[in-house]
Amino acid sequence: MFSSSSSSFRLCTLLFVFLLYINVVSSTNKIGQGYRLISIEESPDGNLVGHLQVKQKNNIYGPDIPHLQLFVRHETQDRLRVHITDAERQRWEVPYNLLPREQPPPLMKTIGKSGKVPLTASEFSGTKLIFSYTSDPFGFAVRRKSNGQTLFNSSSEESDPFGNLVFKDQYLEISTKLPKDASLYGLGENTQPHGIKLQPNDPYTLYTTDISAINLNADLYGSHPIYMDLRNVGGEALAHGVLLLNSNGMDVFYRGSSLTYKIIGGVLDFYFFAGSSPLAVVDQYTALVGRPAPMPYWAFDYVKHAFYHINFHACPFDELGDLNYLISVLLLSAFCNIIEPLEMGFHQCRWGYHNLSVVEDVVENYRKAKIPLDVIWNDDDHMDGHKDFTLNPKNYPREKLLAFLDKVHSRGMKYIVIIDPGIGVNSSYGVYQRGMANDVFIKHEGEPYLAQVWPGPVYFPDFLNPKTVSWWTDEVRRFHQLVPVDGLWIDMNEASNFCSGKCKIPTTHQCPNATGPGWICCLDCKNITKTRWDDPPYKINASGIQAPIGYKTIATSAVHYNGVLEYDAHSLYGFSHSIATNKALQGLEGKRPFVLSRSTFVGSGSYAAHWTGDNQGTWENLKYSISTMLNFGIFGVPMVGSDICGFYPQPTEELCNRWIELGAFYPFSRDHANFYSPRQELYIWNSVAESARNALGMRYKLLPYLYTLNYEAHISGAPMARPLFFSFPNLTECYGLSTQFLLGSSVMVSPVLKRGTSKVKALFPPGTWYNLFDMTQAIVSKQGHYLSLDAPLHVINVHVYQNTILPMQRGGLTSREARMTPFSLVVTFPTGVANGEAKGKLFLDEDELPEMKLGNGYSTYIEFYASVTEKTVKVWSEVEEGKYALEKGWTIEKVTVLGLAGFGEELAVEIDGKPMADVSKVEFNAVEQKFLEKLEDGGDKRKSMMVDVKGLELPVGKNFAMSWKMGIN
C-alpha cells in the first residue's frame, strides 16, 4: 500500500534531523567500563560457557544487568556462534520455533569460579575460525585460521570512538574494529543512495516501518541485521559474514574503522560465517536461517503490477497539527505503495483497476501488443469494502470473475490478489466473527488492540499464536474456494497502522468516512507513553526522524501469545505473517506456494518473495532499485524486484522505456502503479511496448537459465541477481559497482540509468564477453576496463561471459508457451581459443509441486560440458533423472558456439553412446565475430567465429555427445 512520508517538507525535515543525527553520532560518549570475565570452562560437548560481571554500574539508559552468560560454539566448520545473555533471567530471543536453530545451554544462575580465567587472551579454535577473548575488560575477537586475519574484535581502547560491552534491559551496545579497506554490504532494508557498498556515517537503523522506499537511509519494511565484509589483501579477496540475530529495534553506526550496534532489547546472538567467497557466505548464512523457497516457473514471468495501494500512515507529524505538512504528504503519498509481481514471468498490477472489465482489457491489450505477460494482479479493488477474503459483488461479481479466471488459466496465466493483516471490526463479517471466536488477535490491556487500515477499524491477528495460524489457514481455504487465486500478496505487515496509540471507535462520526481519504486516522486515539516499552530510554532513529517506536504501528506495549511484547516481536510480524500464509497455501491443491511479502526478516526468503515497496518514477529510483535488489540476494531473499516504471507519479515515456529494459531482468519482474497515477501499462506508449517486446522477449528466452538459478538458490542460497564482485572478487573496481549486475555467474546486465543518453559506461572484468542480443559482437577485456557502449532507446546491453553454456528456449507470450518450445545451447569460449572448456546446468521439474528436488520422478537435472582442443570441438551432456524431460518431449534444436578459430565440418553425434541415425538435416553456419577495438590488444587480433549447429533433435533427457573438426576458412 501507499506510504505517506514523501513530501518536500518531509525531505527538508529529514535533512535537518540527519544533520542533528550526525552531530549526535560524532559526540557519542562511552557508557561504563564494561564487564570482566569471572569464570569460563569447556562443557562436555566441547563448547565454551563463561560468566561475566559488570565492572561498574551506571543508570544511563537504565541499570546494568549485573551477570551475563557467555556461550561459544563452533556449530559447523564454517560457522561460529557467540551468544551473550542475562545469566539469571530468561530474555527475549527470536523464537526457536519460528526460526529453527540450536538452543544455547540453560542458564546456570549460580555465578562462581567454575574454571580458571587466564590473565591474557585465550583461544578456542575451530576448523576455519578462532574465537579468542580478553578477561578484564571482557572483549572477544574472531580470526580466520588460515591467515590469522581478525574478522571481528569487540575490545575497546581509550583512543577508540566506541566503548566496551554494555548490557542493560533496554539498551545493549557492542562494537567491532574494522580495517579501513574493508568493504561492507547488507544491514537493511533501506534505500542506499550511494549504492550497495555501505558508506561511513550513513545511518543504518533496523526496525520494520511503513514509510515509502523513496526515503533514503531510513529503516524500511524489513529488518536484516546481517552484513558481508569483503577484504582484498595482497590481491587475494576474502569475504565473511556477521549476523546479529536480534529482532529488537537497533541503530548500527558504521564509521569506516569501526561498527557499533545499539539495540533496545533482546540478547547478543552473533553468528560468524567464514566464507571465504561471497557466494560461500550466502550459502553458509542460508544454511542457518533457511534456504530460499522454490518458486513456480510462471513466477519468473513478468506481470505488470498495476494494482497499487496508498498508505499514508507514515506521516510523522499529521497528529501534531501541521496542516501544511499533512496536505503535502497526502498529495505525494497517494502515489507511493506498490503491489508486487509473481516470480519468473512478467507481472502486471495496479491499484485502481476499479472493476473486472478493466482487468480484462489489460490482459487483452498485452496480448494485442504481443508483450509477454504471465500474471495479472489485483490490489484491494476486488474487495468488498477493503475487507480481506471478500469480493465486491458489483465490480467483481464472482460468476464473471470465475469465467475470467477460466480464460486466463487456459492460457497458462495466473491471478494473484492482495491480502492485508488488518481484519475489519464488523459484526456481520464472517472473518472477524471467526477470529473473535478463536481469540486470534493481539491484545492491549486485555482487549484486542484497535487500529485503522483500509477497511477502517481493524484488529491485527497474532501469528505467533498457533490458533491464529490455524484460523488463517482456514480463511485462506475458504477464500480459495470462493476465488481460485494462484498466490497471495501480503502487504501492510510491518504492521502498518493509520493511527497511533490507544484508540476507540468514535461515537460522533463515521469511521471510515466513505467520502474522505482512507488513510486519515478517524478513530479517537490517545498517545501511550506511560510504559517503558512505549517510551524506551534509548531512541532509535525510527523512520529517519527518531519517531516514537509505536508511531503508526501497533503499540509496543501490546501483547502477543504467551505474553510476548510487541516491543520485542515488532519486526517479526511480517515474517510470521509470511510463514502462516505459506503454510495456508501449501494445503491447497498440492501446489507450490507463491507469497509476496512487503515486510521481511531474517529467514523470510524461505517463505516469500519480496518487492521493494513504494518507489518513485524517477531516474534516481531506477538506479536505487539495483542496490536494493542486490542486497536482498545477500539477505537470502533472491526473488526480488522493484515496481517497474515506479509506483508514483507518472514516469516519463523515456524513463519507462529504460525501466522495463532493466526490470525485465529483475528476478521478480512486475509493473505496478498508484491509484492516483495515470495508466502506465507497457502498451500505453508504442515506444515502451517495443522496448518491452525486446527485453521481455530475451527474459522469456532465458527462462530455463533463470529457473535453474532458482533451483541453485533453493539448494545453496545463491542469489539470482548478484554484484559483479561475486564472480570477480579480486577486481576491486567491482566492490562499489551498483549500476550493473550479474544474473547467476555469467550473464551481465548493464542498463541505461540516465535521462537523455544513448550510451552506457560499463565495466568489463577480464575475459571475453558476448552480446546476448547479437552474438556476433564480442568484447575482450584484458585487465578489467570501462567501455562506452551504444544503447539506443530500445536497447539494453546484456553480455554472457566466456566458459559458459547457457540453456535457452525460443520464448513466447507466457511462460507455459515458452516452456514448450525447443531448447538451444549457447557455448562461449575465450575469443579465438585453441584450448578451452565451458560448463552449464539445467534444472527442469513439475514446477507447481510443493518441493523442488531431484528423486521424485518429476524432475531432471543436466550438466553440460564443452571443450575445444587440437582443432576439435566437443559438446556433451550428463543427465541425472532424465525420465521427466523425456516424458515432456523436450529437445535441443540448436547449439551455438562462440569464440572458435574456425567453422565446423565432419560432425559426429551420439545419443546415449550410439551414433545418431540421421544427421542429414543438421547444418553448420559460421559468422566471423566483430570486436570493439578499444578493448582489443592490437597485437592479438585472432579470428573468432560464431558457429551455429542447426537442425538437431537431441532429447533433453538423454546423454548426448557431439564433436566436429574446425575447418579454417
CA distance 908 to 699: 32
* Exposure letters 440-476 (e unless 16+ CB within 10 A, then b): bbbbbeeebbbbbbbbbbbbbbbbbbeebbebbbebb
Question: Is the omega angle on the peptide bond into residue 137 within 30 degrees of 0, that is, cis?
Answer: yes
CA distance 498 to 210: 10
Given a contact cutoff of 8 angstroms between Cβ atoms, the answer to whether 418 and 341 are in contact is no
CA distance 567 to 551: 12
Given a contact cutoff of 8 angstroms between Cβ atoms, the answer to whether 580 and 223 are in contact is no
Residue 337: which of 643, 605, 13, 9 has the closest Cα? 643
Tell me whether residue 283 is one of the annotated catalytic residues.
no
Give the Cα-Cα-Cα angle 660, 666, 670 (nearest 5 degrees): 60
Given a contact cutoff of 8 angstroms between Cβ atoms, the answer to whether 292 and 303 are in contact is no
Considering the candidates 614, 661, 712, 847, report the single residue annotated as catalytic. 614
Tell me whether residue 491 is one of the annotated catalytic residues.
yes
**What are the residues whose beta carbons fall under 8 Å from the beta carbon of 582, sequence distance 6 or more?**
293, 593, 595, 607, 608
**What are the residues whose beta carbons fall under 8 Å from the beta carbon of 865, sequence distance 6 or more?**
805, 837, 838, 839, 874, 875, 876, 877, 878
At what angle are helices 8-26 and 323-333 packed, to 10 degrees? Answer: 110
Residue 658: which of 799, 793, 798, 790 has the closest Cα? 793
CA distance 94 to 463: 14
Tell me whether residue 681 is one of the annotated catalytic residues.
no
Given a contact cutoff of 8 angstroms between Cβ atoms, the answer to whether 673 and 643 are in contact is yes
**What are the residues whose beta carbons fall under 8 Å from the beta carbon of 473, sequence distance 6 or more?**
580, 583, 584, 587
The H or E element containing residue 628 is helix 619-634
How far, in Å, are 103, 512, 775, 805, 831 from residue 827 at the CA level? 48, 61, 11, 4, 12
The letter for the amino acid at 394 is: K
Unique residue bearing C-alpha cell 529503516: 219
Considering the candidates 494, 643, 671, 847, report the single residue annotated as catalytic. 494
Question: SS3 of 303, please?
Answer: strand
Given a contact cutoff of 8 angstroms between Cβ atoms, the answer to whether 172 and 268 are in contact is yes
The H or E element containing residue 714 is helix 703-716
CA distance 668 to 630: 12
Residue 50: which of 126, 104, 89, 101 has the closest Cα? 104
Given a contact cutoff of 8 angstroms between Cβ atoms, the answer to whether 113 and 39 are in contact is yes
Q: Can you read off the three cell numbers belonging to residue 701?
A: 528466452
- Compute φ and ψ for 750, nearest 5 degrees: -130, 85
* Residue 478: count of CB within 10 angstroms of its CB: 13
How far, in Å, are 26, 281, 342, 711 from residue 296 at the CA level? 49, 26, 9, 10
Given a contact cutoff of 8 angstroms between Cβ atoms, the answer to whether 424 and 826 are in contact is no
Catalytic residues: 491, 494, 614
